[in-house]
């Protein structure tokens, strides 16, 4: 069985290894001069390779495609991946939130380990070779066409990734191959990224990191989610953990339908916050309101908050009216972030959307339209939250595709 794997990222390396150890003759084609350019930048260069949890828990962190992934994640679970990497000599450690990293804190060690598995299983690597087209005859795979050559293969596994961080080689080629084979594509959009905010109210807060705050997500005026944790304001708007999570939840919705509100004090109810404000006001009656708020808010957030409430920074606390106090309360709890749009693919950790799951067999990753054609990894319409869940999508689907492609029909 001759198998071609297109793309040498996490999914491609796993698929190539699984196919070769299943007895296939495997060639992995990578357009770059080496494998794993994206792996190299994962987890800030440390590679959060998976999440140490049971498949049932894992699937709760998948945003789209959870049902489709069930079979492949149970067949090749986070535990299976961790065992495989450790057998291959890569020592692992588990950090906060069950996030798994190499002990060396070097993402390149993950690639090395996977490459060693491939080499030992006899995978042949072809670098600097970009696949341009598939060769399909009578709904059956015949081979692939590169910039310089044509190759005949019984099976072809597409692992070309999505559109995020295109400088790593992931430029959406897999979508074109899928379309050539007649597959539907769910429009790819950036996910796990920062958000652009309107106006410039947030500029004074640029660089401000907030802990223990909440983001409330409204869709068409209805509150649908509330996320607690950390975020920061940036030169374009906002980013940080809860903003990334929010982006994954809203990325497929029209921007006009979305409203994001920041709760500066989620631990306090409206009533508790009002009592706190009244106490602070009583103790600081003759001071400027901006000074009085210092106990409650970081310095750089005071000016934007007061300006949103139309209160002068120098206004004395004893002259703040009841309605101004009420505006302050409202904005402390429900500060409209003036959401504009998501950041682009250049900065998105993953792509949401891709090859429609309807026409892919979830057990084998084989196309239901073209015999011998497989898709795995980020090219598929599956995505998850941060925490090692996205790489595990690549590993589980890559493993399923490789094992299936090695089988003779």
Ligand X SMILES: Cc1cc2nc3c(=O)[nH]c(=O)nc-3n(C[C@H](O)[C@H](O)[C@H](O)COP(=O)(O)OP(=O)(O)OC[C@H]3O[C@@H](n4cnc5c(N)ncnc54)[C@H](O)[C@@H]3O)c2cc1C
Could you tell me where the beta strands, DSSP code E, fall in 17-114? 25-29, 50-51, 62-64, 92-95, 99-102
Nearer to ligand X, 170 or 284 (CB): 170
Closest approach of ligand X to the CB of residue 397, in Å: 8
Q: Which is nearer to ligand X, 50 or 290 (CB)?
A: 50
Beta bridge partners of 64: 383
Residues that bind ligand X (CB under 6 A): 6-12, 29-32, 37-39, 41-43, 47-48, 130-131, 159-161, 164-165, 169-170, 173, 349-350, 377-378, 388-391, 394
Toward ligand X, which CB reaches closer, 7 or 188? 7
Q: Taking Cα atoms as reference points, which of 394, 391, 397 lies closest to residue 366?
A: 397
Comparing CB distances to ligand X, the nearer of 213 and 244 is 244
Tell me how far, at minimum, the Cβ of 34 lies from ligand X, in Å: 9
Confirm if 383 and 64 have CB atoms less than 8 A apart: yes
Q: Is the dihedral of CA 131, 184, 153, 19 positive or negative?
A: positive
**Dihedral (CA of 350, 376, 73, 35) sign:** negative
Nearer to ligand X, 40 or 74 (CB): 40
Query: Is 208:233 a contact under the CB 8 Å cutoff?
Result: yes
Alpha-carbon distance of 329 to 180, in angstroms, equals: 56
What minimum distance in Å lies between the beta carbon of 174 and ligand X? 7
- Burial 147-174, CB ≥16 within 10 A → b, else e: eeeebebbbbbbbbbbbbbeebbbbbbb
CB of 67 to ligand X, least distance (A): 19
Residue among 44 and 322 whose Cβ is closer to ligand X: 44
For residue 361, the minimal CB distance to ligand X (Å) is 18
Pairing of the two strands 339-342 and 195-197:
antiparallel
CB of 177 to ligand X, least distance (A): 8
The answer to whether the CB of 264 falls within 8 A of the CB of 223 is: no
Of 246 and 376, nearer to ligand X (C-beta) is 376
């Amino acid at each position: 069985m001759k198998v071609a794997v297109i793309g040498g990222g996490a999914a491609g390396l796993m698929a190539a290894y699984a196919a070769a150890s299943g007895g296939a003759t495997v060639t992995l084609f990578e357009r770059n001069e080496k494998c794993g350019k994206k792996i190299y930048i994962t987890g800030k260069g440390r590679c959060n390779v998976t999440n140490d949890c049971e498949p049932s828990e894992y699937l709760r962190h998948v945003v789209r495609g959870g049902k489709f992934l069930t079979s492949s994640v149970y067949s090749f679970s986070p535990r299976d991946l961790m065992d495989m990497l450790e057998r291959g000599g890569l020592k692992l450690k588990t950090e906060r939130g069950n996030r798994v990293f190499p002990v060396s804190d070097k993402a390149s060690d993950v690639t090395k380990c996977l490459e060693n598995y491939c080499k030992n299983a006899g995978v042949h690597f072809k670098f600097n070779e970009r696949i341009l087209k598939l060769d399909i005859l009578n709904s059956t795979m015949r081979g692939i066409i590169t910039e310089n050559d044509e190759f005949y293969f019984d099976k072809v596994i597409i692992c070309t990734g999505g559109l995020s961080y295109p400088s790593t080689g992931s430029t959406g080629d897999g979508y074109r191959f899928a379309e050539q084979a007649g597959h539907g594509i769910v429009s790819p959009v950036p996910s796990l990224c920062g958000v652009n905010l309107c106006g410039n109210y947030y500029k004074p807060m640029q660089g401000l990191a907030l802990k223990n705050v909440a983001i409330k997500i409204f869709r068409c005026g209805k509150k649908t989610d509330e996320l607690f944790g950390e975020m920061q304001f940036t030169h374009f708007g906002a980013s940080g953990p809860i903003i990334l999570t929010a982006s994954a939840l809203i990325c497929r919705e029209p921007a006009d339908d979305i409203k994001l509100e920041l709760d500066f004090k989620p631990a306090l109810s409206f009533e508790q916050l009002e009592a706190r404000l009244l106490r602070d006001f009583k103790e600081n009656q003759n001071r400027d309101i901006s000074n009085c708020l210092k106990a409650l808010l970081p310095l750089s957030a005071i000016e934007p908050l007061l300006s949103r409430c139309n209160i002068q920074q120098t206004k004395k606390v004893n002259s703040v009216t009841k309605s101004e106090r009420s505006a302050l309360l409202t904005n402390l709890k429900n500060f409209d972030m003036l959401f504009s749009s998501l950041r682009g693919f250049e900065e998105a950790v993953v792509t949401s959307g891709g090859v429609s799951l309807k026409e892919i067999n979830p057990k084998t990753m084989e196309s239901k339209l073209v015999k011998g054609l497989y898709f795995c990894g980020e090219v598929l319409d599956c995505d998850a939250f941060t925490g090692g869940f996205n790489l595990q999508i690549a590993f589980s689907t890559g493993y399923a595709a490789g094992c299936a492609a090695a089988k003779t029909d």
